[in-house]
Amino acid sequence: MKVIKHCLLGATLALSVTATQATEFINVLTGGTSGVYYPLGVAISQLYGKQIPDAKVQVQATRASVENLTLLQRGRGEIGFALADSVGDAWNGVEEAGFKAPLKKLRAVGSTYSNYIQIVARADSGITSLEDLKGKRISVGAPRSGTELNARAIFKAAGMNYDDFSRTEYLPFGESVELMKNRQLDATLQSAGLGMAAFRDLASHAPVIFVPITAELVANIDNDAYRPSMIPAGTYTGQNSDVPTVAISNLLITHEKVSDETAYQMAKQVYENLPALRNAHSAAEGITAEGAVQGLPLPLHPGAERYYKEKGLLN
C-alpha cells in the first residue's frame, strides 16, 4: 500500500511540474489607461488567453514607449507597444532619448497603427499656430515618454524649446486634459491614435483648436520615422476641417528570450484577428498584415518572421 501511495504521489508531482512548465506567461505592456495602447493591449491579451495554449496573460499599464522598451530589455514583459522613433533610439542607444546603451535584446513582432501628434489648445487661449504657444502653459506628455520625445523633435524643428513656454508640465493624456478643463493649462501635445478618448472628452467640454504641423516643418525633423499626415475633419467635436500633422508608426516589440513558438503565435493572433482589435479602438483600423513588416528599425523575432514568411509577406 505504501508503495502505491508513493507512486501516486510521484505521479501527481510529475503532473504538477509538467503543468507548471507548460504555462506560458505573457505580460502585455501598454501605456496610460486613457490612451490607445491600453484598450488595444487588453484586446490582445484576451486573444492570447483564448488562442495560445496554456498562456497566462496579464496587461500592465505603463508610461508607454520608453518604459516598455526598458522593461522588455530586462525581460520584465513579453510584448509591448512603442513608437518607431523610440524603438530606433533604443536599438541605437541614444542617451538623449533615455537609453544609455543600445537595447540589443529587443526584437520586432510587427508594425501596427500610426500615432498622430495632436496639439490641442483651448479656443479661448488665442493659440492657432506653433508660434502662438510661446509664453503659454503647455503639457508635453510624461517625462522621457515617447510623446515627450516627439514634443522635443517638433519644437526643435520649429526653432523652439521648453524655455519658450511660461510653464511646462510633463503629464499624460488624462491629467493634461483635466488641467485644461480647469483653465490651468492652455495647450497640450500628445502622441496617440486618432479619436483618443481624453481629447474627445475635452472637445465635448469646451471649444478647442488643433494646432497644425506643416509638411515643411516635418521635413526639418532629422528622423525618417516622422511623416506628414492629417487629422481628418470630424475626428473630434467642433473640428470641421483637416489639420496637417505628423504620423509615426507604433510597433509591437518583444525580446530575444521569448520562444520562437510564442513569438509566432503573438504575431499570428494579432494579424489574424484584426476585427477584435478594431472593436476595442478605432485606431486599429490602420493595422494591416501587409503593413506589419514595413519600416521596422530593428530585426524581427525569428518566430514572427516565420509567420510572415508563411503568409507570403516576406521572402
Q: Is the pTM of this model over 0.75?
A: yes
Give yes or no for residue 1 having a pLDDT over 70.
no
pLDDT value, residue 8: 43
pLDDT value, residue 23: 85
Task: Please check whether residues 148 and 227 belong to one and the same domain.
Answer: yes
Task: Please check whether residues 136 and 243 belong to one and the same domain.
Answer: yes
CA distance 229 to 89: 22
Q: Per the structure, how many domains does the chain have? A: 2
Domain membership flag for residue 2: no
Q: Which of 110, 103, 114, 60 is nearest to 252 (CA)?
A: 110
CA distance 18 to 20: 5
The bridge status of strand 79-83 relative to strand 137-139 is: unpaired
Which residue has 530575444 as its cell numbers?
Answer: 256
Residue 9: other Cβ atoms inside 10 A: 10
Task: Please check whether residues 264 and 196 belong to one and the same domain.
Answer: no
Domain membership flag for residue 231: yes
Give me the domain span that covers residue 305.
23-113+249-310
Task: Please check whether residues 139 and 158 belong to one and the same domain.
Answer: yes
Tens digit of each residue's pLDDT (9 = 90 or more) over 202-258:
999 999 999 999 999 999 998 989 999 999 999 999 999 999 999 999 999 999 999
